[in-house]
Amino acid sequence: MNRDRQDRIAIIGLGVIGGSLGLGLKSLGRYYIVGIDQDEQTLRTARETGAIDEGTSDYRLGVAEARVVILSVPVTSIMRIAAQIQDVVPPDAVVTDVGSTKAQLVATLEALYQGRFVGGHPMTGSEYAGIGGADQYLFENAIYVLTPTERTAPETLAAVEGLVRELGASPICLSPREHDRIVAAVSHQPYMLAVALMNLASALETDHPAAMLLAAGGFRDVTRIASGEPAMWMDIFDSNREFILKTSRQFRARLSDLEGYLEHGDTAALAEALAKARQGRQRIPVAVRGLLPAVFEVVAMLPDRPGSIAEIAGILGHGGINIVDIEILRAREGEGGTLRLAFKTENDATAALDALRHRGIVVKRR
């Protein structure tokens, strides 16, 4: 393995994101990855799975010869560790992070690293926790937000943008406060709503034990994010309190509007609000990894037999047709199910439709 310093990247924190960064960067075959984590089992797993070349629990030792340092721990820990290692990070090294909030963090790290730091936030993740959930392909087709300011050196931004693209992600630049305002609405507020809904259902279950049995797919979809690690979310709430509170109040105002329409029997206003929400929902890109451009969908009806999904993937692969997103919409034991396939171009979607129909698979455009 080439240990030249120009190829040496230090990743502090080997959870899902840090471990996936290690796997993705190592798969390129030109980087030497040093993993830094306080948990020895995590370090062992990271070595065994090929996420890192070497590991240590010593922050200062791990970053001493790095060309790039990536801080992949909770926001408050990022700021603390960044200060601890500041004097041993090589003066020409680039520093970045993957924190979920940016304004406070960017201000702190820019003061420490004087142009050599740029904030980052990959808009992707996993329901799994820890190094066991790491995925080499986690960043493919994902939006990766970078938050440069007037203090960011152009070469710093260029270096991190290059790494992001090598991982298969698409970098976009936002100001730190713009980032925090947006994620408060589209990420942090949904978590608050999921928590509130789950706690409401749990309270209902006390008097109505069948409540959870009746929780349909829609309820599970809406509350999925409530399964996130509370400690991580406490860190997010603390560092983005201003925008989360503002967004929460704006949401309550809209909820109050809906309550008013119901209370006063204003069916016209209620219908308009529902239609507007439906139209807005349809504008959300269907791919799950960030804010991708619109994709083109095909829905396939699957028979209930082993290998059905593999058969479809094989047909499309043989035809050189790339699937950018795939989702099981419905599964019915003994009857099969419905599979949603997304493609980057209209031509790919049309070719997929033709190829699958030619093989006798029931498909339709969506």
Q: What is the pLDDT of residue 325?
A: 81
Establish if 269 belongs to a structural domain: no
At which of 108, 140, 174 does a domain end? Answer: 174
Residue 349 counted as domain residue: yes
User: Which whole-number Å values give the CA distances from 309 to 72, 313, 324, 338, 364, in the listed order?
Assistant: 35, 6, 15, 10, 16
Question: Is 211 a domain residue?
Answer: yes
Residue 336 region by backbone torsions, left for phi larger than 0, else alpha for psi between -120 and 50, else beta: left
- Rounded CA-CA distance 185/191 in Å is 10
CA distance 340 to 337: 10
Please state the domain count of the chain: 3
Kindly report the CATH number assigned to the domain that includes residue 131: 3.40.50.720
| pLDDT for position 292 | 39
Last residue of a domain, one of 114, 140, 174: 174
CA–CA distance, 164 with 161 (Å, rounded to integer): 5
Per-residue pLDDT 10s for the chain (366 aa) are 345 556 999 999 999 999 999 999 999 999 999 999 999 999 999 999 899 999 999 999 999 999 999 999 999 899 999 999 999 999 999 999 999 999 999 999 999 999 999 999 998 876 667 888 888 888 988 899 999 999 999 999 999 999 999 999 999 999 999 999 999 998 899 999 999 999 999 999 888 988 888 876 678 878 888 887 788 889 899 999 999 999 999 999 999 999 999 999 999 999 999 999 999 888 776 544 553 344 688 888 877 678 888 899 999 999 999 988 887 765 544 434 678 888 878 889 999 999 999 988 888 876
pLDDT at residue 333, rounded to an integer: 45
Residues 232 and 330 occupy one common structural domain: no
Shared domain for 99 and 242, answered yes or no, is no
Q: Which two tokens stand for residue 21?
A: 């960064």
pLDDT for 217 equals 67
CA-CA distance, 13 to 71, in Å (whole number)?
Answer: 7
In this structure, what CATH number is given to the domain that contains residue 349? 3.30.70.260
Buried b / exposed e along 165-191 (16+ C-beta atoms within 10 A): eebbbbbeebebeebbbbbbbebbbbb
* CATH label of the domain that carries residue 241: 1.10.3660.10
What's the confidence (pLDDT) of residue 286?
54
Provide the pLDDT for residue 350.
92
Looking at the structure, tell me whether residues 225 and 186 fall in a common domain: yes
Output the pLDDT for position 264.
96
Domain that holds residue 306: 296-365
- Does some domain include residue 39? yes
